[in-house]
Structure 1
Amino acid sequence: MAKKKKKKVSPDTIAVNKQARRLYEILETFEAGISLLGSEVKSLRGGQVSFKDGYVSFRDGSAFLIGVHIAPYEQTGPFDQHEPERPRRLLLHKREIDLLQAKSEQKGLTVVPMKLYFARGKVKVQIGLGRGKNVHSKKQDLKDRDIARDTARQLASYK
């Protein structure tokens, strides 16, 4: 009997921070675990998360996710509710924390959450080291996207 092939597990995306790529030029990305409460995980399975003004802060040799809103889970009792915007600890290697902290202290660089997803049953967050874009860069990105779309349309019409 033939061996069964293991299915390649693709991460289940919970939410994507669309503003991150629009407002920042992402230089590097990292995958980090995130320390959550049970009710937060249940809420994430329902997709109740908002990145709005989320960023990563460093203190005491640890990285924390600040400003990400995870809605309270409705089926949880009133005493087991979590605070929606509490700081959540990111699980990274010490060398990654030191690298990100050193680079984020440079002028114009910041660390922002880009995507939340499930990987092998665990909640992971993709964080990116980014440099803020100015208005000119945003307009140039829009122009490039329009040109690429028009080119794709013309190529498709010739086929």
Structure 2
Amino acid sequence: MENTRNKIISENRKARHDYFIEDEYEAGMVLLGTEVKSLRLGRANLKDSYAKIKNGEIFVHQMHIGPCPFAYYGNHDPLRIRKLLLNRQEIKKLTSKVNEKGHSLIPLRVYFKNGKIKISIALAKGKRQYDKREAIKKRDENRDMERTRSER
């Protein structure tokens, strides 16, 4: 029986604060052996990372995977550009959407799925400062309402 449990390695929590998430895609990644070992230890950071489409291929930039502490030689560059694996139709769809003004590709989380390392990227549109303040205000109001309900 296959293990369908997903273990999250790293999550980009700031992305949901800074962007309106329109669509999510799951992609594989081309990794080196020391990167896989580091990811198994949970040594990844998605802060400030983004994805770009170049020559019909998608690459993730600024994703930090810490060096493997057990590798004596041949350790990887922590901020190396990594290729993402998606279907050709999905790449074409994303290319047309990203060319629209204000859209970008943002990694949301890196996780294990059935023993393979996957990355979830989102087609996102940036929020303005007043949108962020509005979201914070709404969240605080909901928290206050829940607090008053639980006190009764």
Which range, TM-score by smaller chain? over 0.9
Q: Does residue 155 in structure 1 map to residue 149 in structure 2?
A: yes
CA-to-partner distance for each residue in 1:133-156, whole Å, 9 max, x for gaps?
011000001011011111111222
Q: CA RMSD in A?
A: 1.3
* Partner in structure 2 of residue 130 of structure 1: 124
Provide the rounded CA distance (Å) in 2 between the counterparts of 1:138 and 1:16: 20
Query: Could you tell me the percent identity over the aligned residues?
Result: 38
Instruction: Give unmatched runs, 5+ long, in structure 1.
Output: 1-5
Q: Does residue 63 in structure 1 map to residue 58 in structure 2?
A: yes
Q: 2:80 aligns with which of 76, 79, 86?
A: 86
Shift of the alpha carbon at 1:52?
2.4
State TM-score, norm by structure 2.
0.95
* Partner in structure 2 of residue 11 of structure 1: 6
State TM-score, norm by structure 1.
0.91
For the 8 Å contact 2:3–2:114, the answer to whether it is kept is no
Provide the rounded CA distance (Å) in 2 between the counterparts of 1:31 and 1:69: 19
- Aligned letter for 1:50? N
For the 8 Å contact 2:12–2:46, the answer to whether it is kept is yes
- Aligned letter for 1:65? V
For this pair of structures, how many residues does the alignment match?
Answer: 152
* Partner in structure 1 of residue 42 of structure 2: 47
**CA distance 1:25–1:152, change in 2 (3 Å):** same
> 4+ residue stretches of structure 1 with deviation over 6 A?
none
Report the secondary structure of 1:140's partner residue: helix
Q: Does residue 33 in structure 1 map to residue 34 in structure 2?
A: no
Q: Does residue 119 in structure 1 map to residue 113 in structure 2?
A: yes
Shift of the alpha carbon at 1:8?
6.3
Instruction: Give unmatched runs, 5+ long, in structure 2.
Output: none
- Aligned letter for 1:142? I
Provide the rounded CA distance (Å) in 1 between the counterparts of 2:110 and 2:96: 24
Report the secondary structure of 1:130's partner residue: strand
Shift of the alpha carbon at 1:48?
1.0
Provide the rounded CA distance (Å) in 2 between the counterparts of 1:66 and 1:87: 5
